[in-house]
Structure 1
Amino acid sequence: MKFRLATVAWSVIYLLLLLTLLTPLKMITVFFLIVPGAVLFSSLHFKGFLIHVIPVLLIIAFLDVYSLLLAIYFLIPSVLMGWIYKKGGPAFQALMTGMGVILAELLVVLLVATYSFGFDLSQYLRDQAAMTANIVQQIFSANPMFSGALWTAEDTQKLGTMLIGKVPYVLIVTSFLLAVLTHALVRPALSSLDMPVHKMKPAREWRLPRALIWYYLLAIVIEWIANSSDGSWIQMVSISMLPLIHACFTIQTIGFVYFWTHSRQMSSVIALLLSLVVLIVQPLYIIGIIDLAFPLREAITRSKK
């Protein structure tokens, strides 16, 4: 009975989360939409999962079709991550599966928006850059302190190009954060239902293969070739490859941050705050490169002794 009441409670939580999509709270609650579906799929047989989820989806469909589409969108990674939890797969597999599916869905949505609705992401970002440039120019004009400053059309073009170049990185990091948040919440939820889930390695033990450095050098060479080439294919490879490797180095940097704070016996809150800084200030991924290329952690351990 306790198990049945718990799954019904998760169905109610799922419904409440979906209802928030009709309110301004959706900017926050959208990050938690994968969790209830993953918990329900992991803890129930497929038939029981449908019995719990379909009534929720029908209620949302009656209220707002667009919210139903968003619910289905997040239900796909829920099912796939839940399937891995159900079969007792490793936490890293669930995390990477969730990240991969979310990233693939983001790319599919972007593809559909581009070819079905004529949405041009590049042009949209250039327009946003132009709007930002106008605001900056107004600030320069209104404040005598910036009388000598000048924002040129070239600056606007550079800003637009920079925004376009950051799109792959943003998509990858967003997918990773959603998967990590989902795993962090699903694991204790399933434990409360007497379903043990494998732990992720502590963040301080995160270490990627050293071969990633060679991939990074290869990506730099490809970028150099792309800049001197008119081929759209090689440019697309360059645009996609470097941000992905940068995201990997960012993960390595976060692992190093947790290792360093742990070795100094600092609070995990400090490690979390520093990790957020790493995610925001992208050039800090260079710490991950140094951590992979040199025995940085071993040096810290020896200096502590």
Structure 2
Amino acid sequence: MNSNIVATPRDPVEMAAKLRGANYLADEGLATTVYLAVAMNRPLLLEGAPGTGKTSLSEALARALDIPLIRLQCYEGIDATQALYDWDFSRQILHLRSLEAAGSETSPDEREQSLYTERFLLPRPVLRALRESPAVLLIDEVDRSDDEFEAFLLEVLASSQISIPELGTVVAKVPPVVILTSNRTRDLHEALRRRCYFHWIDHPDPVRELEIVKAHLPEVSHRLAEQVVDVVQSLRNQGRLRRVPGVAETLDWAQALNRLGGDEITAHTAALAMGALCKDQNDRDYVREALDAAFATTSSFAT
């Protein structure tokens, strides 16, 4: 995209269509929230269980708006340095050695100043987003960071600028489209919540999940897709699993079963492909028992 202005869809309907074109099926509520966040230049906070498509939405939005996606993965202990910038220490040392080898007569102050220039700057995601915008800045799993990092984010989001003491202030020509995701492992501060538009993303209902499977995996037969969705929906509703399968696991399992051949789930293929659906041994044992019961009177799974 060459323009410095994001081509915002005219309304939520067009936003939904653009997301669909990027292979993301958003319902009316989600499409409207995304549209408003982009149109009104507000950060969007997405919360929901793991595997509900929060990160995928950010990737699809970048494709839909035809702008780059820049991702900041949060983790325990992350600080402003990992988000903003750092200095290339090894290259700075080599630079000093080259000056010494060349017999440079520059003063110590001049040498020090020469170390803190653009050539030695290592931009991290937030700085890159401010410089390269228009872009989608994904701040993923913000709930894994701490209070101090939240305060830092709040300051940057409010001003769309940062100060680098050695180089000056960097101001975004166009504020990036900011999306924050949270799995709700801890409560975020009210100040950050108030700054954002908010949307809770839940697991899709059976009809929408089937649409998602067909959109992403058109090679999978309709019957197999229906059976996969039926199993996954049933497992979620039972509430017995330690790690509830998300949409990503639904797609992985459908693809794995399809690659093993056949247009429907069988006891053999279900067991072989179980690693694509369940990522916990206790969950695997439970699902196998449940499917064995379903296969007790037939060689295939009946929806």
Q: TM-score range by the shorter chain?
A: under 0.3
Report the TM-score when normalising by structure 1.
0.24
Kindly name which structure, 1 or 2, has the bigger radius of gyration based on alpha carbons.
2
Structure having the larger proportion of residues in strand: 2
Structure with the largest fraction of helix: 1
